[in-house]
Structure 1
Amino acid sequence: MVLLKYKAALILFLFTGYKIIAQEKEVTFNSSDKELVQSFNWAKETALHYKGADTDPVGPWYESALPPRSAFCMRDVSHQCIGAEILGLSRQNTNMFNLFAANISQSKDWCSYWEINKWAKPAPDDYRNDKEFWYNLPANFDILNASWRMYLWTGDSHYIDAPAFVNFQQKTVKEYIDAWVLYPDSMLKRPAHPNAPAPYNENDAFHRCRGLPSYSEGVPNLKTGADLVAALYRGMLTYSEILATKGKLKEAALYAQKAQQYRKHLEADWWNEKDNQYYTYYSNSNQFGMQEGETFLLWFDALKDTVRANKTVKRVAASRWNVENMSYYPYLLYKFGEWEKAREYILFLSNPSTARREYPEVSYGVIEGVVQGLMGVAPDARTKTLGTIYKTNSADSAFVNHLSLLRTTVNLTHVGRQQSIITNTGKQSFKWKAMFYGTFKRANINGNTVALKKGADDQNRMISFVETTVTPGKKVNIKVY
């Protein structure tokens, strides 16, 4: 059934006139920080090792699950996709996202397949039939948000406009929430197994975990995870942004309001005042508890109380969970201002002595951490803008070459904290928002002096920036002072 749906999606995909832009040269990274270069090169080689064969029945894909399964799962793909895009695995991303979107169904209570293998089947490790299977409920919202991030990075509107994706969005924010009782005020009162097979067998994981309300899989007797609340917030907000992009502003405002309802419950219900941290799960015996779920509060960017968010970031940075969890750290710690810790985790995750560093998510997480994190690469297809900022406390220099985004390719160099150089080596123009930490008055752009604008990042660090258009073949050198 998966393969048939894949073929239908592929035909539609080609019919819409979408053209795959191949990355002709592999991305490269270099820096005066040679330990980071070594980590990046290990991650690149390891990640590409997990690239599947185009001739496999499922089509182009890459490993994003436990390697013996030859499969890809929704959570891992949602996390690995930007790293994969950086490495030139665009066709793989498109195919895998198509499959997840196309296989949402009423018979599975608006779930998709949690995990699909290279034989174009739902992985038997997680699926028996449409009534008996493993599924983590944050997954729909994770894929919804990942599709949006893929659009912002690539400029490919297929990720938000193709019929299979539109259907996935609509079913996720409506029928899926109804089916699994995921309303803002029901998260602490919902039934533990609203769609369990009958007769129900507690000892059968495909019964007990058909709709596991968290990514934390080791917590017994679970009613709701804080990460599910955060995922719902991010899913509603993402759908609002998608609607706004399409000019549906009234509907967008409605879903933005729904998103805030989940966030308000997260702050009101889940904060542990005594321990100054968030609870991460709520049990069927009506007890809160704490486990590894805080990472996903940051991943879904659901914390807007600055004091609480900073405490959470510090605690996550000091935690050594499993490698799947820690694979999120390089990008997240750069994003939330813990730059030295982010670098530390890149080196730790790529160290040969680190247990299970071969898990696919780890290498893709390192790639993402270096390019999106350290180099501060942030494309936005809505405005065809590429933001960059070097996140380092040192005078090191770094460059990334042959990087595909916004339907073009670029070479980017940061020379210390006051100079950035970009070359548009592709065929599409974009606006470059070159940002620098600190308060500077002027910039020299290819010999011309211009005034800088001022701003701040999410941690209220001062930023100076300038915007300029970079046409194909153009090289722009900006130095601030």
Structure 2
Amino acid sequence: MQTGRDSAFLPSYWAAMTDRPMFYARDFAHQTLGAHLLGLNAENLAMLRHFAGSATAARGWYPLWAFTFDGTPAAIDYRSDDDFVREIPAPFELVEKAAEQYRWTADERFLLDPVITGFLRTTMTTFVELHDPLGTGVAGERGTGDFWSGTATYNEVERPPYLRVAADGIASQWAAHRALGSAGVLAAGFAAWNRERAAELAEHFSDAWWSRDGRHYTAGFTAEGPVAGFRLESTWFPALKGIMRADERSAAHLDFLAAGLEAAPPANIEAATYLPEAFLRYGRDGEALRWIRALAASRADYPEVPFTHVAHVASGLTGLEPGERPGVVRTRSHLPAGEWLEAGNVPVGRSRIGVRHDGREATELQVTAGPGVTWAATWDDGQVSTIEVPAGTRVRATPDGGVTRLPAR
């Protein structure tokens, strides 16, 4: 980690393979939540701002793929402004994570820093208009399969036919619109436009991307039409981002995903770090926990593994996250019966939160620092208990509506 004490380096942390002292857009986007939970907010802001500032007209409004810790483009992935590694989901993930970090930190700079604000607007407008190969409003690329000239997908082992728009691309684009649409500090008109675009993309995905024969969402499209089959990131990103409606189709797609992973698990561990989030989002908690345990057992030193493990445990399994408005925190246990999990001193907005789940039978929430919160505890039947938790207090709640005030620890 570079703390910024030496002016030669950006405040930053390792977000790349261990033999590359660099930070990559894709790795960084996936590590930001874990980094926040570890107290690396200054690093997150500096790195995000650096990626945002690298997206220029000369580069087709793509942010650069990777930087060394002094902020220079990583030569291994950059030759010139028209010859560098670029993949469509990355700019949208950076937009989404900017809004996510604002929600978790209550730091408006993640959205209102002028460099970041310009990047958000340009990515969601000019970038999409410039990279719309099928004229559907879905960002994509030319279908060369060469990430040096731009690809539609994160799947770097993509096989022909090469996609012009990909499911991980549209899912990431939708997630970026959705995140900006609920970010309260943005101009009302821009937020409303993003909500409209998110709704339009979700409708388009539901109507045009379902493969009736395959009983799963298609991986993407070439100029000739849809391309079905199990294709790694293009298969699990619709679940990861939540663009699928929670219905029979999403259930069938998740079955298809689980079967594909059983038959051909990803060869690179980076890819596996996404899977707990994908399954947790749709309530496939057993499958998610299996991948969390497998990742932990791997003891892999790829930075994405430990960073995401922190997020999978402290936020994923606990369901702990900021609500839609400041001062609200949400929880939902994803534990099996008989198991317990406790996370403490978790920074959510301006508060520090402790949460403990005892299976699905009871949850405790404590505000250990900062202002009190409104706690929205969600249970298996979908019911939500809304409870005021003042600063310095601890509350225990149960699915039957029981609320007990407990001594603070």
Q: TM-score, normalised by structure 1?
A: 0.75
1: CA distance between counterparts of 2:286 and 2:373? 31
The 3-state SS of whatever aligns with 1:97 is: helix
Q: TM-score, normalised by structure 2?
A: 0.87
| Residue in 1 that maps onto 2:395 | 476
**Which one-letter code corresponds to 1:288 in the other structure?**
V
**Which one-letter code corresponds to 1:282 in the other structure?**
F
In the alignment, does 2:325 pair up with 1:382?
A: yes
The 3-state SS of whatever aligns with 1:211 is: coil
Q: Which fold has the larger relative contact order, with Cα–Cα distance below 8 Å and residues 6 or more apart in sequence?
A: 1
**Which one-letter code corresponds to 2:60 in the other structure?**
D
| Residue in 2 that maps onto 1:337 | 283
The unaligned stretches of length 5 or more in structure 2 are 401-409
The answer to whether the Cα contact below 8 Å between 1:64 and 1:80 also exists between their aligned partners in 2 is yes
Aligned with residue 311 of structure 1, among 252, 262, 275? 252
The answer to whether the Cα contact below 8 Å between 1:86 and 1:403 also exists between their aligned partners in 2 is yes
1: CA distance between counterparts of 2:88 and 2:179? 17
The answer to whether the Cα contact below 8 Å between 1:52 and 1:60 also exists between their aligned partners in 2 is yes
The 3-state SS of whatever aligns with 1:174 is: helix
The answer to whether the Cα contact below 8 Å between 2:357 and 2:364 also exists between their aligned partners in 1 is yes
- 1:49-448 residue pairs with structure 2 within 5 A? 51-55=1-5, 57-181=8-132, 185=136, 192=142, 209-219=148-158, 220=160, 221-242=162-183, 245-246=185-186, 248=188, 250-283=189-222, 288-290=227-229, 291-292=231-232, 293-304=234-245, 306-318=247-259, 319=261, 320-321=265-266, 322-352=268-298, 357-380=300-323, 382-437=325-380
TM-superposed CA distance for 1:413, in Å, is 1.8
**Which one-letter code corresponds to 1:312 in the other structure?**
H
TM-superposed CA distance for 1:465, in Å, is 3.1
Mean Cα deviation higher: 320-329 or 218-227: 218-227
Q: Which string of whole-angstrom CA distances, capped at 9 and with x for unpartnered residues, describes residues 138-190 of structure 1?
A: 111111111111111121121112212211111111111122226762659x7
| Residue in 2 that maps onto 1:467 | 386
Instruction: Report the identity percentage.
Output: 22
The 3-state SS of whatever aligns with 1:119 is: coil
TM-superposed CA distance for 1:480, in Å, is 4.8
Between the two proteins, the alignment pairs up a number of residues equal to 390
2: CA distance between counterparts of 1:382 and 1:480? 24
**Which one-letter code corresponds to 1:398 in the other structure?**
L
Root-mean-square deviation (CA), in Å?
Answer: 2.5
The answer to whether the Cα contact below 8 Å between 1:184 and 1:265 also exists between their aligned partners in 2 is no
The 3-state SS of whatever aligns with 1:222 is: coil
2: CA distance between counterparts of 1:381 and 1:305? 20
Q: Which of these two proteins has the greater Rg computed from alpha carbons?
A: 1
The 3-state SS of whatever aligns with 1:409 is: strand
TM-superposed CA distance for 1:324, in Å, is 1.8
2: CA distance between counterparts of 1:367 and 1:317? 23
Q: Which string of whole-angstrom CA distances, capped at 9 and with x for unpartnered residues, describes residues 280-315 of structure 1?
A: 133456562431111111122111161111122233
TM superposition outliers: structure 1 runs of 4+ over 6 Å = none
Mean Cα deviation higher: 108-117 or 254-263: 254-263
2: CA distance between counterparts of 1:88 and 1:187? 35
The answer to whether the Cα contact below 8 Å between 1:381 and 1:406 also exists between their aligned partners in 2 is no
The answer to whether the Cα contact below 8 Å between 2:328 and 2:373 also exists between their aligned partners in 1 is yes
